[in-house]
Structure 1
Amino acid sequence: MRILVIGDHESKSLWDFYEPSKLEDIDLIISCGDLSPRYLSFLVTMAHAPVLYIHGNHDDKYEMTPPEGCICVDDDLYVYNGIRILGLGGSMRYRYGTHQYTEKEMRTRIRKLWMKLIRYKGFDILLTHSPAKDINDGEDLPHQGFECFRTLLEKYKPKYFIHGHVHMSYGRKYKRIDHYQDTVIINGYDQYVFDYENPDFSSDVSRAGTHMSK
């Protein structure tokens, strides 16, 4: 399965200079947040693939103008073609904001998902807006990562951890690809494409496009 990851910056290649060939082999599009809802709606219209998204810390506008035709997986565990995706949007709280959280608040969000984590025996992709604490995050409060994300990586050992928020344009400190134990970490800034090989799941988690209600 070929997955397109996007986040934080609308790619001119995909929007201003779009050509059908750029999306024709994409099977799934995943947004890490802080993107125009019009951009996501455009991509889901042009691609033959679903668009899954979580909220970034600047996505208050989604409340009034949600991305049409796209699927929000924030605070959810979504299964697409056998791939279990856990979505946790938002950033560390640095001022009042709809999609900003303290470490304690983020842990509370994770606890609310425990039944799904047990039922589906973990997850394969952790999709967040912010990075994990001390893994490709920033020193300033707005860009600090969550310690509980690192805990999730250590406990469930997903194949991929996909995040945004720390723009690669900030400097060389922020890597496109990193690793933590057995997990590959992808910074979804702008756009990035990778191939995911479907694991062999038991039948209870292999139903294509299964969406577990909140």
Structure 2
Amino acid sequence: MLPRRSLRLRKLIVCPFRHSLTLPSHPFYGTIQTVKILAVSDEVVERLYNLCANGQFNDIETILGCGDLPYPYLENLVSLLNVPLFYVPGNHDPDYHTDDPLTHAEGGSNLDLKLTRHRKFLIGGFGGCIRYRPDGTNQYTQTEAYLRAFRLLPHLALNRLKYGRALDVLITHSPPFGIHDEESQAHRGLKAINWLLRVAKPRYHFHGHTHFQRRNLSPSETTLGVTRIVNVFPYKIIEVNH
């Protein structure tokens, strides 16, 4: 009869991925890393130019754009702060074409339906909103949004196998369905985003699109499970931890 240590070794050899499948969603390795981000959406705030130029945002390390902003605005922020920009398009942004410079922000990364790793943070993006006009740009029915979200599954699964978690930060234009959204068709949330939050379990979800928080009718932050959901309109300064 083999000793216990040998039996355990045999099990690991037979099923080498057995223990990797039980990793916690957000394991910590070493010291906690903090990154201060500037998240923006939907409205140009020219005062930010002065704040950046005066050095008050010198500790900002990343810009996240949640849609419906003129790309020159995002480009100016990148030039002033000299930090990476990750963004998704909103329903008032043009269709993205790689050969058309007017359809993307120079110096930034369009993360619509993409994942990236930045300073050990896993960031993913999902652009657009609910369809409220038949010919609307970056607008989707609930079913169309689900089909788009499913395209992220292979990348999320690969992240979980490689890093022990699927996602740290999700940026979207639309809010989730029933969270920070409105009853009007144009500002109803996407159910596909709720699904992404359940599957990927990011620590942070930043979105735009709904502006009613300006009237103090609803809080701009909500916690759902392990996820802190933030409506960043028109901008927020947030520290994210990993």
Q: Secondary structure at the match of 1:14?
A: helix
* Deviation for aligned residue 1:83: 0.9
Q: Does residue 123 of structure 2 align to residue 79 of structure 1? A: no
8 A Cα contact 2:116 2:124, kept in partner: yes
Over 3 Å counting, the alpha-carbon distance change for 1:193 and 1:24 in structure 2 is same
CA distance in 2 between counterparts of 1:171 and 1:46 reads: 30
**Aligned equivalent of 2:170, options 126, 132, 135:** 126
Distance 2:115 2:106 in 1: 20
The number of residues matched between the two structures is 198
Tell which structure's C-alpha radius of gyration is larger. Answer: 2
* Partner secondary structure for residue 21 of structure 1: coil
Alignment check: 8 A CA contact 2:66 2:90 kept: yes
User: In the TM superposition, what is the alpha-carbon distance from 1:12 to its structure 2 partner?
Assistant: 2.1
**Partner residue, 1:37:** 71
- Once the two structures are TM-superposed, the CA of residue 75 in structure 1 deviates from its matched residue by 1.0
Q: Name the SS for the 1:134 alignment partner.
A: coil
2-side partners of 1:197 and 1:128: how far apart? 19
Identify the structure with the greater helix proportion: 2
> Match for 1:52 among 86, 95, 100?
86
Please say if residues 7 and 32 of structure 1, whose CA atoms lie closer than 8 Å, have aligned partners that are also in contact.
Answer: yes
Paired residues for 1:134-213 under 5 Å: 134-168=178-212, 171-198=215-242
Q: 1:61 Cα shift? A: 7.2
C-alpha distance in 2 between matches for 1:181 and 1:139: 24
- In structure 2, list runs of 5 or more residues that go unmatched: 1-34, 161-165
The 2-side partners of 1:3 and 1:159 are apart by: 14
Q: Which runs of 5+ in 1 are unaligned?
A: 199-214
- What does residue 22 of structure 1 align with? 56
Report the CA distance between 1:17 and its aligned residue: 6.3
CA distance 1:124–1:14, change in 2 (3 Å): same
Matched to 2:119, the amino acid is N
SS at match of 2:47: coil
Residues 17 and 181 (structure 1), Cα distance of their counterparts in 2 relative to 1, 3 Å cut: closer
Alpha-carbon shift at residue 150 of structure 1 (Å): 1.2
Letter of the 1:136 partner, please give it: H
Determine helix, strand or coil for the equivalent of 1:142.
Answer: helix
Q: Matches of 2:212 and 2:60 in 1, distance apart?
A: 23
Return the match for 1:12 from 28, 36, 46.
Answer: 46
TM-score between both structures, scaled by the size of structure 2: 0.77
2:136 — aligned with what?
97
Letter in 2 for 1:158: P
Q: Which runs of 4+ in 1 moved over 6 A?
A: none
Instruction: Report the TM-score when normalising by structure 1.
Output: 0.86
> What is aligned with 2:18?
none
Alpha-carbon distance in structure 2 between the residues aligned to 1:49 and 1:19? 14
Whether the 8 Å CA contact 2:156–2:200 is kept in 1: the answer is no
Partners in 2 of 1:168 and 1:192 — Cα distance? Answer: 16
Q: CA shift at 1:60, angstroms?
A: 1.4
Identity of aligned residues (%): 33
Tell me how far apart the structure 2 counterparts of residues 16 and 35 of structure 1 sit (CA, whole Å).
18
Task: Answer yes or no: is the 8 Å Cα contact 2:49–2:80 preserved in 1.
Answer: no
Query: Is 96-105 or 28-37 further displaced after alignment?
Result: 96-105
Change (3 A) 1:99 1:61: closer
Identify the residue that residue 114 of structure 1 maps to in structure 2.
153
